[in-house]
A and B are shown apart, each in its own frame.
Chain A
Amino acid sequence: MAAKVAVVRFPGTNCEFDVVEAVTSLGGQAEIVFHDQTSLGGADAVVVAGGFAHGDYLRPGAIARFSPVMAAVTEFAAEGGPVVGICNGFQVLTEAHLLPGALQKNAGLKFRCQMADLVVASSDSVLTSEAQVGDVLRIPINHFEGNYTCSPETLAELRGDDRIVVRYADNPNGSVDDIAGICNEGRNVVGLMPHPERACNELLGSVDGQVMIGSLLASAGARV
């Protein structure tokens, strides 16, 4: 049976169908779950997709985190279920305190929309289990508030516990320690600013996202 991925959609989310396409192209099942639903419908993994949830009003993710579906996502994460937040989804996960730190405006005040080389820093996460440390993945970024920041204590903890999952080879936004993505203590919740779902087809210029979505499906498959 194919692993089933719930793709969370808030008002203003706009990357949900890209995630559905990437997941199904790699043999998984995907189902959109709307923000006001209280159940994930028995999913084996969750992706909080990118976009501008609730218009990014107040702060990106600030309002989305109080959506009914986030209670279900939080519970699923607490049970060890694989949860990945991409771009705006990463912002939502930090606001929901499922991941530490915050995403501030890009250094230089530029909206960054370009390909980025990511260096896999840890293969011990639900998004990188099938990659090797040191692999360079070419994945697009598309954000204005992707400059990861956290307290020095949190940064020391992330480094010490091998929780920095991917780093930028050439830092595009000012993120501390070149961080592009991190995971939680349980390693089952990952947030990253780049969009692996947009790098799963030759037509899009890179298939390097397949190893990430494939890793997620493998983690999800282990729960089927």
Chain B
Amino acid sequence: MCESWRMIFDVTVEVRLRPGIADPQGATIERALPALGFDGVQDVKVGKSIRFTIEAADESAAQAEVEDLCHRFLTNPVIEDSVVTIAAGASA
């Protein structure tokens, strides 16, 4: 009965502000660093990480579903991009 064979994938979605979108949190952290003695740290960006598992037939099916989820819900494409990482977990 292999038609019901599905995999569980571990997914991490990193949501990042798109280039050109103001990142006042990153800028504020960067400005605070010299006071702590960290002089060489630059280009601080703040985003968020969303982790979940997803059940799918294979990795490409999981990838497609996660991309759709990112576009419609997890990010606002006007201001945000996402980077998706998928790893095979246990089989369902």
Contact = CB atoms under 8 A, between A and B. Distances in A.
A44 to B, nearest CB: 31
Contacts of B76: 59, 62, 95, 102
Interface in B62-81: 73-74, 76, 78-79
Contacts of A108: 24
A221 interface: no
A59 B47 CA distance: 12
A174 B78 contact: no
Contacts of A29: none
Contacts of B17: 104
Nearest to B17: A104
A101 B73 contact: no
A174 B22 contact: yes
A28 B32 CA distance: 51
B21 interface: yes
A149 B79 contact: yes
Contacts of A147: 22
Given A109-B28, A149-B79, A104 B22 contact: yes
Contacts of B79: 102, 104, 149
Query: How many residues of B sit at the interface, in one of the four size bands?
Result: 10 to 19
Given A109-B28, A149-B79, A150-B78, A104 B73 contact: no
Contacts of A106: 24
Contact of A109 (B21, B24, B74): B24
A171 to B, nearest CB: 13
Contacts of B85: none
A26 interface: no
Interface in A188-224: none
A58 interface: yes
A187 interface: no
B78 A58 contact: no
B25 interface: yes
Nearest to B74: A58
Contacts of B21: 104, 149
Nearest to B75: A59
B51 to A, nearest CB: 14
Interface string B41-67: 000000000000000000000000000
Nearest to A66: B73
Contacts of B27: 109
29 contacts: A58-B73, A58-B74, A59-B76, A62-B73, A62-B76, A94-B78, A95-B76, A101-B78, A102-B76, A102-B78, A102-B79, A104-B17, A104-B22, A104-B79, A105-B22, A105-B24, A105-B25, A106-B24, A107-B22, A108-B24, A109-B27, A147-B22, A149-B21, A149-B22, A149-B78, A149-B79, A150-B78, A151-B78, A174-B22
Given A105-B24, A106-B24, A149-B79, 4 more contacts: A62-B76, A107-B22, A149-B78, A151-B78
